[in-house]
């Protein structure tokens, strides 16, 4: 495993393909300490001078690039967590981004019998770090840290159908034009870069029933946790 003390799961994919929903359901249901880090939390403010500019026909900023994300800080936070050998929920005060560790409503996410925090912390399973981000695997430091890598895909029409329903606080440009000139071209560019440089990615169809998608990833993680548990028991 990439870490001796943690199982690291990376969840990336095209915008609106269900990455965060999947991560939240896993966070709610895994029977051990589970910590979530989202790449969106590290996006620079609009005042940051390093953003790319959108094409002239659109104007404004293009935030669909690694230049818009403070990846140094995200990687630093990841290492703070991975260096914690006896984690407890809410114990990462040195991580630079505030988080709501228990913010997931399991009932709303259709996750029954959610493990209590006290039971998670006493679990025989190793803790799990869930990483979520649309450009997660395009940063060279992230894939080597992950034990499981997932990438959710969508066809362009379905992606736009979902994205147009969202409201982005920092987005003042024409939403359709921004999708056509920035979001989708950058997605294709980053996707090509990723498949040329990263191996062992498990691709998931974002049109799949969310319950089916969740169960397949949950079972993969539990299999890894069981193998690690048995290995540690044998060697102790």
Q: What is the pLDDT of residue 93?
A: 46
Whether 81 has a pLDDT exceeding 80, the answer reads yes
Whether 8 has a pLDDT exceeding 90, the answer reads yes
Mean pLDDT of 75-92: 76
CA neighbor of 208 nearest in space, from 37, 17, 56, 3: 17
Provide the pairing of β-strand 148-153 with 61-62.
unpaired
* Structural Rg of the chain based on CA atoms: 18
Q: Is 110 left (phi over 0), alpha (psi -120 to 50) or beta?
A: left
pLDDT tens digit sequence for 117-148: 555 656 789 999 999 999 999 999 999 999 99
Q: What is the pLDDT of residue 234?
A: 66
Whether 83 has a pLDDT exceeding 90, the answer reads no
Is 12 in a helix, a strand, or coil?
A: strand
- pTM: predicted TM-score of the whole model, two decimal places: 0.85
Model confidence at 59, pLDDT cuts 50, 70, 90, reads confident
Whether 102 has a pLDDT exceeding 80, the answer reads no
Residues across the chain: 236
Model confidence at 66, pLDDT cuts 50, 70, 90, reads very high
CA neighbor of 145 nearest in space, from 76, 85, 203: 76
């Amino acid at each position: 495993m990439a870490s001796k003390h943690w199982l690291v799961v990376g969840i990336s994919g095209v915008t609106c393909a269900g990455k965060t929903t999947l991560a939240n359901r896993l966070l709610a249901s895994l029977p051990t300490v589970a910590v979530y880090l989202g790449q969106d939390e590290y996006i620079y403010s609009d005042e940051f001078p390093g953003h790319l500019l959108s094409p002239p026909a659109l104007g404004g900023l293009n935030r669909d690039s690694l230049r818009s994300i403070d990846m140094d800080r995200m990687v630093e936070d990841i290492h703070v967590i991975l260096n914690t050998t006896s984690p407890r929920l809410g114990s990462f005060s040195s991580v630079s981004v505030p988080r709501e560790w228990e913010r997931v409503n399991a009932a709303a996410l259709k996750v029954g019998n959610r493990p209590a925090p006290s039971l998670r912390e006493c679990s025989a399973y190793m803790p799990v770090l869930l990483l979520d981000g649309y450009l997660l695997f395009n940063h060279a430091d992230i894939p080597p840290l992950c034990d499981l890598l997932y990438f959710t895909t969508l066809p362009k029409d379905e992606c736009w159908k979902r994205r147009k329903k969202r409201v982005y606080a920092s987005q003042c440009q024409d939403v359709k034009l921004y999708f056509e000139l920035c979001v989708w071209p950058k997605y294709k560019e980053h996707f090509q870069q990723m498949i040329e440089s990263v191996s062992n990615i498990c691709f998931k169809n974002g049109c799949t029933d969310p319950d089916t998608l969740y169960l397949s990833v949950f079972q993969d993680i539990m299999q890894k946790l069981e193998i690690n548990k048995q290995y540690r028991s044998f060697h102790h």
